[in-house]
Chain A
Amino acid sequence: MKKGIIMDIKSDALVMMTAEGEFIKGKKHPHQHYSIGEEIPFFPVTGERFSKGRRTGRIRWKVLLASCAVFALLLILLPGTLTEDRKAYAYVSLDINPSLELTLDEEKKVLDIVSYNEEGDEILSSLHQWRNSKADEVTSKIFDLCEELGYFSETDHIYMTSSFPDEKDGKAKESFIKSIYTMIEDENQSRPVTITYKEASREERKEAHEKGVTAGHLMREEEKEIEADPGKEDEKMELKNEDKPSDQPPAKDETKKKNAGQKDTVDKEEKREEKATPRPKADSPEKQKQEKEQKQKEDIRPKKGPQQPDKPQEPKERGNDRQDKTGRQGEWTPPGQQEKKNDQGGKQKDIEKHDRRMKEKEAPQGDKPPGNRGEDRGRKEGWNKNHKQND
C-alpha cells in the first residue's frame, strides 16, 4: 500500500501522485467517495497501462459481438414466429348459398378468406377486419350478413367441410373439428338451419379448387348425382373403361403419322425426282432457244443502226433468213454435213460483216445511191452462192 494525493478520478481507477513524485494508477473502490486533491492510502495497480486505442478496440469488439448476438437471435426467432403465425393449420369451407373458404391457424385465427361465387363476394366485401381475428367472431359476422342479405330464407342448410394441409394427429384434428363445429352450431342456435359436416382430403380439395368450387360443394354435387342416378356410377366406370381404349388410338395415330411421314418423305423424293428429271430435258432446249434468240438479237442490233434508210426492204430479207433457218432445222442431215454447214455459215457471217464494214465506209462518201447498194448486195450474195456450189 502507498500514500498519495488524487490527481484525477477515472471510471475504473485513480491517478495518484506520491510524495516521491511518482504518478501511479490506484485501485478504485466502487462504493467509496473520492475527491481530487485528497490524500489517501491506496493500492497501486501495476501491469496495466492506459491505452485508449485498446480500450476503444475492446469496446468496439464487445459492441460488435453484442450486436451480432442480437441479430442472430432475431434471425432465429422472428422467422419462426412469422412462419408459426402465418402457417395454415386447417381449411374450413362454408357453403350456404355464398361459398367461402376460411384458412385457420392452430389458434383458430383467420388467416385468409376465399370466395367461390358472387354471393360469397358480396359477403366478403361487407366483411371488415377479419384477418388475424378469431374464427368464432368472423363466422358470426358471416352468418349475420347472410341473414341480413336473406340467404337463410333461400336455404336452411349449412355445409361445413374441413381439410388439413398436413398430416395431423387424429385426436388433435378431431378436437379442432369439434371445436369449430360446436362454434358454428352455437352461433346458429336461434336460426332454423341444419349443419352438415364432412371432411375432405387434400386431393379432393385440390380437385375442387381446379373446378373453382369449394370441397364441400364438389362433394355435395357428387352426392346429388349419385342420388339422382345410381347407375351413373356404373356409367362413370364405363366412361373410365372407355377412356382406356383411348390409349390405343394414340398408338394408331402415331403409326398413321409415321406412315404419313414416310409417305410424305416418299412423295417428296418422288417430287424431287420429278422435278429433277424433266428439268434438264425441258430446260435445255428452251435455254438453247433463248440463247439463239439472244444471239439473233445481238446480231440484229448492230444492223439496225446504219441501215435505217433501208427499212422497207430489210424486213423482207430478215423474214427470208428466218424461214431458211427454220427450214434447215426441220430437215434431217447427217452429222458430217451438219458440221460442214456450220463451217460454211460461219464463213458467210464473216464475209457479211466485212461487206457491211466496206459499205459503211463507202456510205459517208455518197458516191452511190441507195438503190445501187441493194444491187451490189444481191450480186455479192449470188457470188457467194455460186462460189459455194462450185466448192
Chain B
Amino acid sequence: MLNLLLLSLVKRKTTIEEKAVRIQNGEEELLSSLLDEYKPFIKKTVSSVCKRYITESDDEFSIGLIAFHDAIVKYNTEKGSSFISFSEVIIKRKVIDYIRKNGKYQDISVDMNNTDDEDLPSLHIEQLAAVDEYQRKEDARLRREEILQFTKQLEEYNLTFEDLIDASPKHEDARMNAINISMIVVNEMEFKDYLLAKKRLPIKKLEKTVSVSRKTIERNRKYIIAMCLILMGDYVYLKDYLKGRLG
C-alpha cells in the first residue's frame, strides 16, 4: 500500500515537460499513455481551428495527433516555454496546412467532376477564405504575444525598436554578416553565457573568431544582440518568419 502511494505521488509530481524529456530519452512506452491522456486537448485545439465539433474518426484529429507527437519529439526545455503552448502552436499549424492542401484537392475534384450543384464551389471558396483569414488572424495573435515578450527582453538590454531601426544594416550583405555573427554567438556557449550575464557582446573574443572588423561589430552591435535574442528565445513565429535568413 505504501509503495502504491509513493508511486502515485511520484506520478503526480511528474510534469508533462519532464515526460516529454523522458520520451526523448527513450521511454517509448510513456508516449502512448501521454497521447491517450491528452486526446481531449488535441480535439479542443483542432476544433478551434476547424470551428466545428471534432471526433476521433475525423482526419483533422489524426493530423492533430501527429502534430502532438512531433511536438513531444521537438520540445526543448532550455527555451523555457511550456509544452502546452508549444504543442498548441504545432497542432494548429499542421491542421491549417492540411486544410489548405485538402481545399486545393477539393477544387480540382470539383472541376473534374463537373457537378451541377452551383453552390458547391462557392462554399469551398468561402471555406478557404474563412480558413485563410482565421489562419492569418491566429498567426498575428500568436506573433503579437511573441513580440510583446521580445519587447520586454529588449528593455532588459536597454534597447528599443527605434534603436534597431537606426542600427539595422541597410544592405543585404551587411545584414547577412550581422545575422551570421549572431548565430555564432548563440552557438558558442562561452559567447552566449557572456551575453546573457553581461547583457553585451564579447567583442574582443568575437573579433578573433569572426572575419569581421571590430568597427563593423560595434556598429551593428544592437542589431546583432536583437537577432541573438530571437535565436535564443522561444519565438516560434518570429523564427518561422525569418527562416529564410536564420536557416
Contact = CB atoms under 8 A, between A and B. Distances in A.
Interface stretch (B85-93, B134-142, B192-200): B134-142
Interface in A11-27: 15, 17, 19-25
A15 B144 contact: no
B245 interface: yes
A20 B144 CA distance: 19
B147 A36 contact: yes
Contacts of A7: 147, 150-151, 161
B80 interface: no
Interface residues of B, number: 32
A39 B143 CA distance: 10
Interface in B112-171: 136, 139-148, 150-151, 161-162, 164-166, 168-170
B166 A37 contact: no
Interface in B166-203: 166, 168-170, 172, 175, 179
Contact of A36 (B139, B148, B170): B148
B162 A21 contact: no
B242 A21 contact: yes
The SS class assigned to the B binding surface is helix
Most chain B beta-carbon contacts within 10 A, residue among A15, A20, A23, A38: A23
Interface residues of A, number: 20
A34 to B, nearest CB: 11
B175 A22 contact: yes
Contacts of A25: 165
B26 interface: no
Given A7-B147, A19-B241, A21-B245, A37 B162 contact: no
B168 A20 contact: no
A389 interface: no
A23 B179 contact: no
A113 to B, nearest CB: 68
A50 B162 contact: yes
| Residue from B147, B179, B226 having most chain A Cβ neighbours under 10 A | B147
A27 to B, nearest CB: 13
Interface in B33-62: none
A37 B144 contact: yes
Contacts of B141: 37
A35 B144 contact: yes
Contacts of B170: 22
Contacts of A36: 143-144, 147-148
A142 interface: no
A33 to B, nearest CB: 12
27 contacts: A5-B143, A5-B241, A7-B147, A7-B161, A8-B147, A8-B161, A15-B165, A19-B241, A20-B244, A20-B245, A22-B168, A22-B175, A23-B164, A23-B168, A36-B143, A36-B144, A37-B140, A37-B142, A37-B144, A37-B145, A37-B146, A37-B147, A39-B241, A49-B162, A49-B166, A50-B165, A52-B162
Interface of A: 5, 7-8, 15, 17, 19-25, 35-39, 49-50, 52
Given A24-B168, A36-B144, A39-B139, 14 more contacts: A5-B143, A5-B147, A5-B241, A7-B151, A15-B164, A19-B242, A21-B245, A21-B246, A36-B148, A37-B140, A37-B144, A39-B136, A39-B140, A49-B165
